[in-house]
Amino acid sequence: MSPPRILYVEWYKDSEEVMARLLRENGYEVITSPTLAESLRLARTEHFDLCLLSEFTGDDHTGVELCREIRAFDRQTPILFYSTQAFAANRIEAINAGAQAYLVKPRELDRLNPVIAGLLKDTECGH
């Protein structure tokens, strides 16, 4: 059985490297992408069990915009935000865009794996 695949979209290279390593150490296959075009191409053409998005503005978009774009063609794959944006308005905007969960980095790092596991389990039960 292959490990769950995560599309991880992060605009800060140092954060991407640390989180990708952490996720891999927890048994996930991680594909990273720093741009809207590449993220959308990957989401459209490859299977992922979960999308992990940062909310911070990237080179050509925000995480919320990316979430909406993914939801336009994929209503099933769970989307989790892991962002430095800690205001309730950020969380609400992400959930309204189609995300299932929103965690604030770094203070909710301890919740990341349990939330990912729960989202993956919910998806398995839904099929």
**H-helix or E-strand containing 52?**
strand 50-53
- Among 46, 22, 25, CA closest to 33: 46
| pLDDT at position 59 | 59
- Grouping H, G, I as helix, E, B as strand and the rest as coil, residue 83 is strand
| pLDDT at position 77 | 97
Distance CA 44, CA 86 (A): 29
| Domain boundary assignment for the chain | 5-126
Strand partners, 65: none
State yes or no: pLDDT of 8 exceeds 50: yes
pLDDT tens-digit map of 65-117 = 999 999 999 999 999 999 988 889 999 999 999 999 999 989 999 999 999 99
CB contact burial 78-100 (16+ within 10 A = b; e otherwise): bbbbbbebeeeebbebbbebbbb
Distance CA 110, CA 50 (A): 18
State yes or no: pLDDT of 62 exceeds 50: yes
| pLDDT at position 122 | 85
Phi, psi of 90 (to 5 degrees): -65, -45
Q: Choose which CATH entry (3.40.50.1820, 3.80.10.10, 3.10.580.10, 3.40.50.2300) describes domain 5-126.
A: 3.40.50.2300
Q: Are 33 and 46 in contact (CB under 8 A)?
A: no
Distance CA 37, CA 79 (A): 18
Answer whether 0.75 is exceeded by the pTM.
yes
| pLDDT at position 127 | 44
| pLDDT at position 5 | 97
- 11 falls in which pLDDT band (50, 70, 90)? confident
- The two structure tokens encoding residue 40: 């959308």
| pLDDT at position 126 | 44
